[in-house]
Amino acid sequence: MFLAAAAQPTSAGAKSLGPREEISLQRSEVFGRGTAESLQLGVDVIATAYGGNTDFCSGPLAHPVRCREVPIPRGAYPSADGHVWGEPDLEHAAEPIQQVAARRLAGYRERLEELWARRQELAGRLKWRADTPA
């Protein structure tokens, strides 16, 4: 799992996440608590479509990544001989990553354009003092 920033506790004791994306390309996930919490917090989740997270990884913020079942290599995981896991398709994972990034950048661009259009109004509200020490 990759999060761009750590969770920061707030005064109410809740967690406030800085990032707006979670990338979880797991081979196997029993439940996916981090993924579930990210979805509840309104974070885009890019996760392997395999394991427990498939029970709840749906909706506009969920971006499932294709995978293929492959045998778990002997000795790679305790008591896993003869079992399989879902190997994520990294090329397919790149698609939702790019889509989420493009959507977020478009939102930032719109906000910057709005602020630029209001620059005269905003400048009038700011008080600049040249004599303020740095």
**pLDDT per residue as tens digits for the range 3-56:** 444 444 333 333 334 457 788 888 887 788 888 998 998 899 999 999 988 989
Q: Residue 91 CB: number of other CB atoms within 10 A?
A: 9
pLDDT over threshold 80, residue 128: no
pLDDT for residue 66: 96
For residue 129, name the pLDDT band (cuts at 50, 70, 90).
low
Tokens of 17: 């996440």
Per-residue pLDDT at 122: 81
- Long-range contacts, 7-16 (Cβ 8 Å, 24+): 15/41
Residue 98 is predicted with a pLDDT of: 93
Mean pLDDT of 52-68: 92
Q: Enumerate residues 6+ apart whose C-beta is below 8 A from 71.
A: 82, 83, 84
Segment 100-120 shows an average pLDDT of 88
pLDDT of residue 61: 93
pLDDT at 7: 41
Average pLDDT, the chain: 80
- What does pTM read for this prediction? 0.67
Q: First vs last Cα of the chain: how many Å apart?
A: 40
Q: Which residue has the higher pLDDT, 22 or 126?
A: 22
